[in-house]
Amino acid sequence: MTILTPLHNLLSPRGVSCLTCGKVISMAVRGYPELCQSCYAAIPWIVNPRCGTCGRPVGCPDCSRHGQSSRGFILNRSAVSYNATMREWLGQYKFRGHEAYGPVLSRMMGWAMKRMLRELASGKKGASVQFDAVTFVPISATRLAERGFNQAEWLARGAAATGNVPLLPLLERTRHTEKQSFKNRHERLHDMEGLFGFLPDAVERLESVVSAPQPLSWLDSSFLFRRRKGEGKNGSLSNLSETPLKLLLIDDVYTTGSTVDACSVVLLKVCSLLGRKGEVYCLTWARS
């Protein structure tokens, strides 16, 4: 799978039809040789998220209802709004096994990843962010067997490649649940309880990619002061100087946020088992 399109792909060979509408492509779209101009133009990119927490392009009652503090993740950003067209594309890929959509959706994730990194670096939410690892929402073994792939993992590959961040499977789904789309908000939240856990080797996997414990900064005078007075938090050297591990969690669709929230809580636990604080950011392909 390529994220960048070689120049020669821009000159569409005669007779190539658009992946989504089937019409012959007269002029290729830069970066998306599978699509015709009008299908590409129909992508509802989220260029300006209105809600700083969940990344919705419109005013957001959900985040004000829950309050930011109750969430396991810092924020979510999505590539596109989940309209009827995007629902159709994802359905083609996920349920009808139309594999050619995979690279397109993955490239869209790369676009969203770039935007997210730029936004985080712009100072609105603090200094630039370097993620330690990218991971993804798991599907059940039953679902994996019937579908043959986890769409969130493929989307995660696009984000990981763009950000040059290691991609790590860390989570597992502890049981099989019915399709979330048929359930109401209350049922979804109830279903989430204990639904996600971490893989047996998650801690080792994460440990293998994070740098060794950071050396104590001797310039941190407040630390030295507390240390002299014996007030170090937990009496530990490392807790005070460490920056949190930053994980990026990927899923296909953000609806209520309950899935990524439940996964974030488990990821924070994995970080704590490594003796580190964690911060989870979410990147989803579509915002419902």
CA dist 37 and 91 (Å) reads 21
Shorter beta-carbon distance to Zn ion: residue 112 or 171? 112
Residue 18 sits in the site that holds Zn ion (CB under 5 A): yes
Smaller CB distance to Zn ion: residue 50 or 147? 50
Residue 148 CB, nearest distance to Zn ion (Å)? 26
d(CA 229, CA 64): 41
Within residues 37-76, the interface with Zn ion by CB under 5 A covers 39, 51, 53-54, 56, 60, 63
Closer residue to Zn ion (CB): 77 or 276: 77
Q: What does the alpha-carbon distance between residue 202 and residue 263 come to, in Å, rounded to a whole number?
A: 13
Task: Determine the interface stretch with Zn ion among 7-15, 35-43, 114-122, 227-235 (rule: CB under 5 A).
Answer: 35-43
Q: Minimum Å distance from CB 35 to Zn ion?
A: 6
- Asked if 24 touches Zn ion (CB under 5 A), the answer is no
Q: What minimum distance in Å lies between the beta carbon of 256 and Zn ion?
A: 10
Nearest to 131, CA basis, from 44, 37, 245, 241:
245
Count of residues interacting with Zn ion (CB under 5 A)? 10
Q: Which helix (H) or strand (E) holds 285?
A: strand 278-287
227: phi then psi, degrees, rounded to nearest 5: -65, -45
Contact between 262 and Zn ion (CB under 5 A)? no
* Residue 57 vs 232, nearer CB to Zn ion: 57
- Please give the Cα distance from 166 to 133 (Å, whole number): 5
Q: How far is the CB of 10 from Zn ion (least distance, A)?
A: 16
Lookup: tokens for 174: 């502890």
Q: Which of residues 188 and 227 has its CB atom nearest to Zn ion in the complex?
A: 188
Q: Which of 28, 32, 33, 36 binds Zn ion (CB under 5 A)?
A: 36
Q: Is 21 in the site for Zn ion (CB under 5 A)?
A: yes
Beta bridge partners of 284: 78, 251
Among 12, 58, 51, CA closest to 31 = 12
Which residue's CB is nearer to Zn ion, number 177 or number 288?
288
Beta strands (DSSP E) in 179-221 are: 196-198
Phi/psi at 85 (5° precision): -65, -45
Q: Between residues 66 and 143, which has the closer beta carbon with respect to Zn ion?
A: 66
Candidates 16-24, 71-79, 87-95, 138-146: pick the segment binding Zn ion (CB under 5 A).
16-24
Q: Judged by CB under 5 A, which stretch of 11-19, 157-165, 188-196, 205-213 contacts Zn ion? A: 11-19
Rg (CA), the chain: 21
Q: Is 253 left (phi over 0), alpha (psi -120 to 50) or beta?
A: beta
User: Closest separation between CB of residue 135 and Zn ion, Å?
Assistant: 22
Would you say 246 and 281 are in contact if contact means Cβ atoms under 8 Å apart?
yes
Backbone angles phi, psi at 197, to 5 degrees: -135, 180
Quick one: 77 or 205, whose CB is closer to Zn ion? Answer: 77
Classified as helix, coil or strand, 94 is: helix
Q: How far is the CB of 53 from Zn ion (least distance, A)?
A: 5
For binding to Zn ion (CB under 5 A), which residues are involved?
Answer: 18, 21, 36, 39, 51, 53-54, 56, 60, 63
